Amino acid sequence: MSIRNLGISAALQSARLLTRNRPRIVMYHRFGVEPHVRKVSAAAFEVQLQLIRQHYHSLSYEELLQRLADGSGFPANSVVLTIDDAYEDVYTIAMPLLLRWKVPAIVYAPSAYVDRETWLWPDAVRYMLFTTVKRELRLELAGVEHAWTWDRDDQVEGIWNVVADVVKTFEREDCLVALEQMSSQLAVPLPTEPVAEYRAMTWEQLRAWQAAGLSVGSHTRVHPNLSRESRDTQAQELFGSKQRIEEMLQKPCDHFCYPFGGIEDFTKETVELVAKAGYRSAVTTVLGMADGAHLLKIPRFGASESFLEFRKTATGWRGLSHERERWLRPFSTSARPVQVGSRT
């Protein structure tokens, strides 16, 4: 082992020791047979699950919440897995591996997406950009024009990132207008239902997931940026999703996940409505290790294909690094606030 690798290993072991009593919540979105820029491959996920089973304490989300609420403490080096959006690959790829390694997880489902009533709009943007033969896109909303051009296919991923960041700032209705403009300009009709690549789990699959001892939470109805919506719209999303999931799964839906989940993506009013809707917890995409300080703003760390990055999360190294950055930030004149989130 090289001196560099020895140093990394020592740092990770130190972090593991220092944070052994603090749970780490890992956030996944998509899974694939092969590595992909937006997916964790089946092989990588299995290695991560194997590491959890051999060296960590696999904790269910329900047990995490109970221990956070009553302050009873945690088994050493507890790791909790969460999965956003309820794509079908969660059922076909992740679920068999979770059951094989006996690792619990919770999936957060946008109910209207499961009902096949809507696309997740970042996927709709992606589908059109990767389908079109055009090399230019212009959007005009609220008197503001946005324009992008690209020359090569390998630039489309970057274009998608930028376009998704812009559209994310729109209200839901403006998002739909933007999608109509994109469809027209890119000459790509958007199917009524998501195509196979972007399909959600079905209710039957969610029932099977639940019957296997895995958990289901709410991720709104249509996955809007709640901070951009009116109070009434937010309430409809929060109450409507909870009611639909409970109706279809015949079990209380007590847990919520904010769409996009960064601190700019929900407001104080949103948090109040989450509580009013009857949710006992809500997770964000804000970095941090959960401590029970606010059960409606629980932080998490994103997953990746990289085994080293996963070890950084599981050992608590990323948690300590984030806390160090937060502590040093007031002393740095050049420091900028860190906003961490996900488009889906």
pLDDT in tens, 66-105: 999 888 899 999 999 999 999 999 999 999 999 999 999 9
State residue 341's pLDDT score: 40
Ranges assigned E (strand) in 122-209: 136-141, 144-149
Per-residue CA distances from 300 to 42, 193, 317 (Å): 21, 31, 13
Q: Could you give the CA distance from residue 304 to residue 31 in angstroms, rounded to a whole number? A: 10
pLDDT for the residue 3: 62
In contact, 67 and 57? CB cutoff 8 Å: no
On the CB side of 311, how many CA atoms lie within 13 Å of its CA?
14
Is 12 within 8 Å of 317 (Cβ atoms)?
yes
Low-confidence ranges of the chain (pLDDT < 70): 1-6, 331-344
Pairing mode of beta strands 136-141, 144-149: antiparallel
Write the pLDDT tens digit of every residue in 47-63.
999 999 999 999 999 99
Strands, E assignment, the chain = 24-28, 31-32, 40-41, 57-58, 78-84, 105-109, 136-141, 144-149, 215-218, 255-257, 281-283, 301-302
Structure-token match 């970095």, residue found: 287
Query: What is the chain's alpha carbon radius of gyration, rounded to the nearest angstrom?
Result: 20
Burial group, residue 72, by CB count within 10 angstroms (0-12, 13-18, 19+): exposed
Measured CA distances, 193 to 168, 190, 276 (Å)? 21, 8, 32
- Say if residues 185 and 138 touch (Cβ distance below 8 Å): yes
Distance between start and end Cα atoms, the chain:
39
Contacts of 37 (CB under 8 A, 6+ apart): 157
For position 254, what pLDDT does the model report? 97
